[in-house]
Amino acid sequence: MTMIDASPVRRGQEQKRSAILTAARELFVEVGVERSSMDAVSARAGVSKRTVYDYYGDKRRLLLGVVENAGETAVSTLRELAEKHLPDAIALDAHGGLHRAVSAFAAELGGFLATSTNYAAAIKLISENESLLPELEDHPLDRAHADVLAERFAHFASAGLLELDDPGLAAEHFHALTTLRVLNEPARRRTDAERVRQIMTDGADAFLRAYGRQAE
């Protein structure tokens, strides 16, 4: 019996989904969610309106899809940066190595925040349409962000490089001192890469002063 390779079909589906999300994100940012029509989304994406409805059902769920897609990309980027800058081996390099690694991690994460149009669009859309997105309250993606850092911080604590009882709380504090400070900046300043880098590295320093193991 001949097996049928379904991968071209799956690739086609993902390409259509990506095109729909990109078109919707651009239109929602340009003219607003209310003034964007499913016809306009389908036309920009180069697919039929029926395809848009088949994938997302209605405009509200399409908006949620745009935001969730940005969140998934952000989590993926966070994992990649954690693996790059905060590997297990850093424990062998003691406190100076940890400080350099956390600062580099924060700086590169800030670069992502300053340059990702997808992420910036999601932040704008959430702020303007929060009432349409009740699913975002206690969303699993929020937990996923914290879990990436909590796992790393727990490892460094077990290696004697950090002093903490609750890795999840420490992750929330790191987020508050870095990413949330960037997001609280005026929109025009969030694209200033140097300012964002400074905010992120200052936050990383404050985090390490609070949680770094004190010299005996």
pLDDT digits (tens, 9 = 90+) for 82-133: 999 998 877 666 667 899 999 999 999 999 988 999 988 998 999 999 999 9
Q: Return the pLDDT at 216.
A: 40
Mind listing the pLDDT tens digit for each residue in 146-181? 999 999 999 999 988 999 999 999 999 999 999 999
Residue 1 reports pLDDT greater than 60: no
Residue 7 reports pLDDT greater than 90: no
First to last CA, the chain: 71
Whole-number Å distance between alpha carbons of 168 and 147: 7
Which helix (H) or strand (E) is 17 found in, with range?
Answer: helix 7-31
Mind listing the pLDDT tens digit for each residue in 15-50? 999 999 999 999 999 999 999 999 999 999 999 999
pTM of the predicted structure, to 2 decimals = 0.84
Contact status, residue 164 vs residue 152, Cβ threshold 8 Å: no
Helix axes 94-115, 59-85, angle to 10 degrees: 150
Q: How are the residues of the chain apportioned to helix, strand and coil, as percentages rounded to the nearest 5?
A: 80, 0, 20
- What rounded mean pLDDT belongs to the chain? 90
Q: Return the pLDDT at 178.
A: 96
Whole-number Å distance between alpha carbons of 48 and 36: 16
